[in-house]
Copies of this chain bind each other. A is one copy, B any other.
Amino acid sequence: MIKTAVLGATGYTGVELVRLLHAHPAVEPVFLSSGSTAGKKYSEVHPQFAGRVDLTLEQMDYEKIPESVEMVFCALPHGKSAEIAAEIYKKGFKVIDLSADYRLGDPELYREWYNLEHPVAEMLGKAVYGLPELNKELIKGARFIANPGCYPTSILLALAPLLGEKIIKSSSIIIDAKSGVSGAGRAPKQPFHFPDCTENFKAYRVANHQHTAEIEQELGRLAGENIKITFTPHLVPMIRGILSTVYAEPISMTSEIELGELYDAFYSDCPFVRILKSPALPETRMVRGTNMCDIAVKYDSRTNRIIIISVIDNLLKGASGQAVQNMNLMLGLPEEEGLGYIAL
């Protein structure tokens, strides 16, 4: 069994990682760290692991990571991860960083959108953006992965086929995205307190969400030009799932059939992307607990607009499942190994 470590193992993405790694037939977690609960058994903090993962949680001290570990996952908060991930990388480990700290190539953008000075800006160029459907070969050869954000994953997969082919006007992209509450993390806060959060729907960070930069960077890379988007995230009273509704104007008239063929071809080698056939439409429950991304492409001929709808589980394909997919590629394992779940 290949040995792995998870730093920040008690947050939602950490828990998902540990669960996936424990069930994975080729790897096992052997080192788990947590700042706040170090010294406790993992199953004391998360009782669903009792009898399965009873490792004692370590301090976030990367000196203690055993040399036999072949893959280190950093599931730490943004800002906290940058230095730690860099140090671990320098010690020679393979690293997958689930934070946002290495997703943006430009430290200016990081400062602008995260209100932080990047502490190890010289490392920014070392990381491969770990979206396997776009960067599979780079990931296979990488030793340092910036694991994509949940919103960016759902949006980039929705738009990628349109951009390389110059199907759409690049200034026309509007993204209306909706996320379950686990996307906000495990720390209790007023807006996520059950009575304030259930039976409620709202937008937040309208036109200024920090994922905007990451989406624009990767769309720009695909299109070969600067791209600006309008991005509005919303909060859905459910635990898991992101649905992104993406609007774009085609350069010339098109049809759902043409678009469907384009998407089918683009994702023909991608085991985790399903292009739905009309009249089927994506629902978040169809990917809950899985690493799948379901996509439907619609064309509104009345207004000449393309509407793409994509769904993922924000904690799986939007975070920990994608990290395991990246790990599989980096370690030469089958891409789907340990990720064959069907929605509950």
Contact B229 A303 (CB under 8 A): yes
Contact A178 B234 (CB under 8 A): yes
Asked if A92 is an interface residue, CB under 8 A from chain B, the answer is: no
Q: How far is the CA of A276 from the CA of B311 in the complex (A)?
A: 31
Q: Which of A26-34, A122-130, A180-188, A257-265 contacts B (4 or more CB under 8 A)?
A: A180-188
Residues of B within 8 A of A285 (CB): 48, 196, 199-200
Residues of B within 8 A of A281 (CB): 202-204, 206
Q: How far is the CA of A166 from the CA of B295 in the complex (A)?
A: 36
Contact A193 B192 (CB under 8 A): yes
Range of interface residues on A (Cβ < 8 Å): 35 or more
Contact B201 A300 (CB under 8 A): no
Q: Which of B199, B247, B343 contacts A230 (CB 8 A)?
A: B247
Contact A199 B247 (CB under 8 A): no
Contact B228 A302 (CB under 8 A): yes
Interchain nearest-CB distance for A310 vs B (Å): 11
Map CB proximity to B onto A312-344 as digits: 1 under 8 Å, 0 otherwise.
Answer: 000000000000000000000000000011111
Contact A342 B198 (CB under 8 A): no
Question: Which residues 234-252 of A sit at the B interface, judged by CB distance below 8 A?
Answer: 234, 236-241, 243, 245, 247
Asked if A194 is an interface residue, CB under 8 A from chain B, the answer is: yes
Q: Which of A49-57, A75-83, A96-104, A157-165 contacts B (4 or more CB under 8 A)?
A: A49-57
Q: How far is the CA of A291 from the CA of B294 in the complex (A)?
A: 28
Interchain nearest-CB distance for A38 vs B (Å): 18
Asked if A190 is an interface residue, CB under 8 A from chain B, the answer is: yes
Question: Which residues 276-304 of A sit at the B interface, judged by CB distance below 8 A?
Answer: 276, 280-290, 294, 296, 298-300, 302-303
Residue on B with the closest CB to A51? B274
Given contacts A202-B243, A243-B202, whether A207 and B12 have CB atoms under 8 Å apart is: no
Asked if A90 is an interface residue, CB under 8 A from chain B, the answer is: no
Asked if A41 is an interface residue, CB under 8 A from chain B, the answer is: no
Contact B198 A198 (CB under 8 A): yes
Q: How far is the CA of A125 from the CA of B149 in the complex (A)?
A: 53
Contact A195 B239 (CB under 8 A): yes
Asked if A138 is an interface residue, CB under 8 A from chain B, the answer is: no
Q: How far is the CA of A24 from the CA of B236 in the complex (A)?
A: 33
Residue positions of A touching B, CB distance < 8 A: 12, 19, 22-23, 47-53, 171, 174, 176, 178, 180-182, 186-190, 192-204, 206-207, 228-230, 232, 234, 236-241, 243, 245, 247, 274, 276, 280-290, 294, 296, 298-300, 302-303, 305, 307, 309, 311, 340-344
Q: A181-B195, A194-B198, A203-B309 are in contact. List 20 more A-B contacts (CB 8 A).
A: A48-B285, A48-B290, A174-B305, A176-B247, A178-B201, A188-B189, A188-B190, A188-B193, A193-B193, A194-B197, A200-B238, A203-B243, A203-B282, A206-B307, A207-B305, A228-B302, A228-B303, A230-B302, A230-B305, A234-B243
Ordered by A's residue number, 29 sampled pairs between the chains whose C-beta atoms are within 8 Å are A23-B340, A23-B341, A50-B274, A52-B342, A174-B174, A180-B195, A181-B194, A192-B193, A192-B194, A194-B197, A194-B237, A198-B198, A198-B238, A199-B240, A199-B241, A200-B283, A201-B238, A201-B283, A202-B284, A202-B311, A203-B282, A206-B296, A206-B309, A229-B303, A230-B247, A230-B302, A236-B236, A236-B237, A237-B238
